[in-house]
Amino acid sequence: MKTVAIYSSKGGVGKTATAVNLAYAASVSGQRTLLCDMDSQGAASYYFRIKAKKKFNSDKLLDGDIARNIRGTDFSGLDLLPAHFSFRNLDLALNELSKKKRRQALAKLFAPFAEEYDILFLDCPPNLTLLSENIIEAADILVCPVVPTTLSLIALEQLLKLFKKLNADRNKIIAFFSMVERRKSMHLATMDKYSKYPLFLKTFIPYLAEIEKMGILRQPVGATARQSPAARQYEKLWQEVLQRGEPV
C-alpha cells in the first residue's frame, strides 16, 4: 500500500476536490483504494454522502478502532473513512502521546491496512501542526495543490521549511497548479516562473464550474461525466503522479 496525502497548509486550494477525484481515478483504474477524511470539516465525506457513526471519534481513531468505521462508497474499489467532528482535537490528542510515539502515530494506525488496499489517500486539513508532521511521516507522496498566487506559494515554502526541520525526504513532495484561471495574468506569470522547477507537475487543474458543482451533485466529476474536461484532467493528474511517484 502506498500512502498519498493531499496536503497544503493553505485553506481552499482544492485539496478535497483533488483527494476525491484522484481517489476515484485510482479506483477506476483497478487500485483498491481507501480515502481517509482527516479534516473535521468532513468535506470529502460529504462528497460521498457518508457520515461517520456517532460513536466514532478522534480517540477511537488514535486507538486504532478504524476497520469498523470504514464505509463502502457508491463506487467499486473505493472505500472511505469518514471524518468525525472531534477530529478537530487530533492535534491535542497527538500531543498527549509520548515524545517517541507522537510523530509516527498516524503511520502506525494505517499499517494494518497494507494488504487490503493498494492506495491510501489522506485528505488533510489546512494545518502546519503536529498532525501535519504525522502526515509527512505517514505519506509516501505529498501532493500539494498550489493556486498560482503568492499566498499559496508561501504555503509551499513553509512546507519545504518543515521538511528541512524534520529532516524528511523532500522528494516526497509533488506540487501542481490548482484552480488555474488563464484569464488572470498573475496566474499565467506565476506558472511561467515556477513550472520550470521539477517540484511541479506539468498537469494543472483549471478553475472549472463542473468541479465547483461537486458540492451539489455530491460525486466525483468522473462519475457524473467520465469524458468531461475536469474528469480527464484529474485522470491525467493521477497518471502523472503515478509516473513521478511510482507509488504502485
Ligand X SMILES: Nc1ncnc2c1ncn2[C@@H]1O[C@H](COP(=O)(O)OP(=O)(O)OP(=O)(O)O)[C@@H](O)[C@H]1O
Q: Which residues bind ligand X (CB under 6 A)?
A: 11-17, 39, 41, 43, 126, 179, 205, 207-208, 211-212, 214-215
> What is the residue-wise DSSP string for 25-59?
HHHHTT--EEEEE--TT-HHHHHTT----TT--HH
Query: From the CB of 210, what's the least distance to ligand X, in Å?
Result: 8
In whole angstroms, what separates CA 125 from the centre of its chain? 9
Query: From the CB of 233, what's the least distance to Mg ion, in Å?
Result: 19
CA pair distance 70, 87, nearest whole angstrom:
15
Query: According to the binding rule CB under 5 A, does residue 10 interact with Mg ion?
Result: no
Query: From the CB of 185, what's the least distance to Mg ion, in Å?
Result: 28
Query: From the CB of 64, what's the least distance to ligand X, in Å?
Result: 25
C-alpha cell at 145: 495543490
Near Mg ion by CB under 5 A: residue from 2, 10, 15, 32: 15
DSSP code for 117: -
Query: By C-beta, is 15 or 84 nearer to ligand X?
Result: 15
Query: By C-beta, is 39 or 118 nearer to ligand X?
Result: 39
Query: From the CB of 99, what's the least distance to ligand X, in Å?
Result: 29
Query: By C-beta, is 118 or 179 nearer to Mg ion?
Result: 179
> What is the residue-wise DSSP string for 136-190?
HHH-SEEEEEE-SSHHHHHHHHHHHHHHHHHT--GGGEEEEE-SB-TT-HHHHHH
H or E element: which one contains 21? helix 15-28
Query: By C-beta, is 7 or 117 nearer to ligand X?
Result: 7
DSSP code for 4: E
CA pair distance 96, 191, nearest whole angstrom:
42
Query: By C-beta, is 125 or 247 nearer to ligand X?
Result: 125
Could you say which residues in the range 32-61 bind Mg ion, by CB under 5 A? Answer: 43
Which residues contact Mg ion by CB under 5 A? Answer: 15-16, 43
